[in-house]
Amino acid sequence: MGLRGQQGWDATYQKQFGAERWAKLRTALSERVNQVAVLNSFLSQRNYERAQRELDLVPSTIPLCYKKNKVEDSNSNVDNEEIRHPEEVQQDEWIRLMEEMGNIEKQEHAYWMDGASAVCALFLDVKPGHKVLDMCAAPGGKSLVLANKLFANLNNEVSSGSKEKKSVLVCNEYSKERYTKLGGVLKSFLPEKMFPSHIAGRTAGEGPFVYTTNQDASCQKGEVVFRNLAPEGYNRILIDAPCSSDRHLVHKNQLHSWSDKLYKENAERQLMLLTHASRLLKPGGVMVYSTCALAPAENDELIEKFLMKVAKTTPVEVVPFSVKEAVWLVEKGINPSEVIDAGKWGVLLLPDKSKYGPLYICKIRKKKKD
């Protein structure tokens, strides 16, 4: 019989991490998520600076991200009745801040997310001109980071008329409800001119730049839809896969529903997502696979399976997390290896060491043909 419930969960990860580490990690998993704010770079310079000032933010070690100037008492804001998922907490936090400061511009100013999520999206190394697919995008935090990088030269793109250089971001979500939420988040942060409904009167090469799609990305039909939006393939793909999400189970008091079957089922879907993504990548293109699961079956073991499966038909290679990315996670003077759990293929950012996560991140490049 398989392992189930809270006891099965504890036993599984105590075995994986060792009793001492698991005790620390388990405590960290139940604590408040350490969030950073991604400021909306599409604001006017004046409002960008004003938001930073009024929200009392200072730059964090992670590019594009800010943290609160004053560190709040870690217990003061914890909602003990129901500790919620990071995205839900950040939305409430945002509404509270907007109420306090008065809405100073139509576009929203800051999106709060786990620092590991921002690191994951930045690790994809998106550049203006790229065609980018965010396969599992709702509620949209990582999509916003990708958009901040991809459309850094938005005004030049619109005025230059150069068709080849047009950046495209496709944000996909399978759940209808979450797809609606995703659309709301994107529209409240990004300029209207980026969306398909605002292309009337424009010629083809002028956009739109941001598409939202409501596809099952693990099946062939989804692949066809994505291919139609970037017929020559994607330069970058983010697969932030649905997973067993251990921290979410802890915060939602749902550990009773845990079973080792859960991660086996997730792994099947994750493998399909990766396989479709690898076909959609251009040669030389890069994809980042991430989960917020602790189970190796959804992380390194899944990558291993994927590499064995696709290697026969598609040449791919894993790109290691380098010092450049690792320094985003540490204050000066700390050795990055102290905060990162490096696996065979990817890295695991865990809250007892890195302050952020859990998040497993692995980058894979499709090799160019010889």
Question: Which spans of this chain sit near ligand SAM (rule: CB under 6 A)?
Answer: 117, 135-142, 172-175, 178, 216-218, 240, 242
Structure tokens at 253: 């008091």
Nearest to 347 by CA among 284, 306, 281, 303: 303
Residue 222 CB, shortest distance to ligand SAM, in Å, is 7
The C-alpha R_g of the chain, in whole angstroms, comes to: 20
Shorter beta-carbon distance to ligand SAM: residue 25 or 243:
243
Shorter beta-carbon distance to ligand SAM: residue 138 or 349:
138
331-336 long-range contacts (CB < 8 A, ≥24 apart) are 331/61
Shorter beta-carbon distance to ligand SAM: residue 166 or 245:
245
For residue 147, what is the DSSP state?
A: H
- Nearest residue to ligand SAM, scored by beta-carbon proximity: 136
Q: How many CA atoms lie within 13 A of 42 on its CB side?
A: 24
Q: Say how many Å lie between the first and final Cα of the chain, rounded.
A: 49
Residue 358 CB, shortest distance to ligand SAM, in Å, is 12
Shorter beta-carbon distance to ligand SAM: residue 240 or 325:
240
Q: What is the DSSP string of 61-80?
A: SSTTEEEESSPPPTTTT--S
Give the Cα separation of 187 and 34 in Å (integer). Answer: 26
* Cβ-contact 43, 151 below 8 angstroms: no
Residue 168 CB, shortest distance to ligand SAM, in Å, is 18
Residue 164 CB, shortest distance to ligand SAM, in Å, is 28
Shorter beta-carbon distance to ligand SAM: residue 117 or 157:
117
Residue 211 CB, shortest distance to ligand SAM, in Å, is 14
Residue 87 CB, shortest distance to ligand SAM, in Å, is 6
